[in-house]
Structure 1
Amino acid sequence: MPGRTLAHPPAHQPDSLFESCSWFYALCREYLFRDHTPEISRALFPSAGPAPGTRVLELGCGPGFYACRLSQEYPQIHTTGVDLSRRLLARAKSRAASRSLQNCTFAHGDAHSLPDDSNSVDAIVVSRLFLIVANREAVLGEIFRVLRPGGRCFIAEPTSGFRTRIPLGCMWLLSKVTNSPAGRYREPRQADVMSAPDFSALIHSQPWGEVDLQYDGWYQYAVCEKRAEALIDSAWLERRVEWRAV
């Protein structure tokens, strides 16, 4: 995939719960989490459907649920799922292969620093990712950067603290049973659920052309469109430099 040259990661990275408990997270994604495919389709694609060659990213794709769903529903597009967990990516690739999806690929990567060129992606899907990322504004900044002018992103984040924290809490418990109690993981001890004002503030940290925020009993959603010619002031550029330094 063409794009920027990234710095080499540190020699040792903390272990990940999504590696040691990948099977459990895949079960949660399949049977516990809500399927937002209809909402994603309506938000990202016009009534006529996506144009041939439309490029879609699913960030924090896990087992590739949406990347595969969208590729199957729209064979004229190409989806790429990006995740840090290699075991979940292996499940995603197996999922795509079992459905004979030639227009669906997966890549190991960090949403904080995507390898894609600026203004190169038509649409982005993000579900439940901001619960666990280290720097939310940096991730949203990357989403804004790689989207082409006129491109859209769909973001879904849970609103229920107790229900949302169950999967990650169970993964921590499973890790104590299956691994050394002294093991350390890069994920937080519990999922960090955003309030409606915090979610709105995060979304509006980028100079979108259009933003549609919606809420229901369990989720909050943002559909954001990058304006044709984004006007980025110097203060916003300075914040981008600070995020890169974190």
Structure 2
Amino acid sequence: MQCLKVDESGCCPMDGVAVRGNLFERRHWLYAFFRERVFRDHTEEIKRAIFPREGPRPGTRVLELGCGPGFYTCRLARMFPQIQTIGIDQSVSLLEWARSRASESRLDNCSFRHGDACALNAGLEEVDAIVVSRLFLIVHDRERMLSEIFRVLKPGGKCFVAEPTTRFKTSLPLWFMQISALLSGGGVAGQRHSPSVKVLSPDEFGRLIHSQPWQQVEMVYRDGYQYAVCAKHEVLGPVAASAASLDRNAA
């Protein structure tokens, strides 16, 4: 199964991603406002889910997919100076915003890359933890992305996923971005597709998460969000290795 791209390093899309990509570039500041001021902050949940009680080991590598303005990439880097955090996103403007924030805070232990969540670049293999927040809403090939997450995690690594369950609240940022673009005269009228999101039902979310051979999965549904904390086998056994190989070959 081939992963479609917006450009040579864009995130794999669903219908209308070209419009969304333009919107995220032209109204990146508005999306950054929502991410930093409106969306729920899951930092404490992430910390408890992916790090041991005594804290992360020096040199721990944490990857945030769909990092946008670098909210968690910067927060975790500031909270744990001994780790390295990496943010990946398809929006050049949001990545510039994230780098500016990191520079202002003098965070030397975080970096940002323009990349494809469905085909992570060389150099990202073997990360200790991955954070994914609100990203499955806007990608088409979700299983492909999850298989990439599984692939690049170290044995024993963990993934934290947070997805909203309410379509109305979830769609508000895109609506405001679209309205802002229209009012400024640079709107999306006449475009072939319009921005949209896909909120996963609990059953869809569960099937997606269990599409990979995790050693352990913990799922929680609370306050308008569904969470999954997934742990990879310390040493991938023959059954899990065979299943993972089949998934990659099928993709």
Structure 2 length normalisation: TM-score? Answer: 0.86
Tell me which of 151, 165, 175 is aligned to 2:171. 165
Assess, with a 3 A threshold, how the Cα gap between structure 1 residues 116 and 212 changes in structure 2: closer, same or farther. farther
Q: Does 1:9 find its partner at 2:19?
A: no
Q: Is the 2:147–2:247 contact (alpha carbons within 8 Å) kept by the matching residues of 1?
A: no
Q: Percent identity?
A: 52
Q: Alpha-carbon deviation of 1:234?
A: 5.3
What code does the residue aligned with 1:79 have?
T
**Alignment partner, residue 194 of structure 1:** 200
What code does the residue aligned with 1:14 have?
A
Q: Alpha-carbon deviation of 1:235?
A: 6.0
* Alignment deviations for residues 191-227 of structure 1 (CA, whole Å, 9 cap, x no partner): 1111111101000000000100001021110000000
- Ranges in structure 1 where 5+ consecutive residues have no aligned partner: 1-7
Taking the aligned partners of 2:243 and 2:214, their CA distance within structure 1 comes to: 15
What does residue range 62-81 of structure 1 map to in structure 2 within 5 Å?
A: 62-81=68-87
**Alignment partner, residue 56 of structure 2:** 50
What code does the residue aligned with 2:126 have?
S
CA RMSD of aligned residues (A): 2.1
What does residue range 46-125 of structure 1 map to in structure 2 within 5 Å?
A: 46-116=52-122, 120-125=126-131
What code does the residue aligned with 2:79 have?
E
Assess, with a 3 A threshold, how the Cα gap between structure 1 residues 236 and 152 changes in structure 2: closer, same or farther. closer
Displaced runs of 4 or more, over 4 A: 233-236
**Alignment partner, residue 241 of structure 1:** 249
Q: Is the 2:99–2:111 contact (alpha carbons within 8 Å) kept by the matching residues of 1?
A: yes
Tell me which of 230, 241, 251 is aligned to 1:224. 230
Q: Is the 1:118–1:145 contact (alpha carbons within 8 Å) kept by the matching residues of 2?
A: no
* Alignment deviations for residues 145-183 of structure 1 (CA, whole Å, 9 cap, x no partner): 000000001000001111111112222333333425234
Taking the aligned partners of 1:48 and 1:235, their CA distance within structure 2 comes to: 33
Assess, with a 3 A threshold, how the Cα gap between structure 1 residues 240 and 225 changes in structure 2: closer, same or farther. same
Q: Alpha-carbon deviation of 1:238?
A: 4.0
Query: More displaced, 214-223 or 117-126?
Result: 117-126
Q: Alpha-carbon deviation of 1:241?
A: 3.2
Tell me which of 20, 41, 64 is aligned to 1:35. 41
What code does the residue aligned with 1:241 have?
N
Structure 1 length normalisation: TM-score? Answer: 0.88
Q: Alpha-carbon deviation of 1:20?
A: 1.4
Assess, with a 3 A threshold, how the Cα gap between structure 1 residues 167 and 61 changes in structure 2: closer, same or farther. same
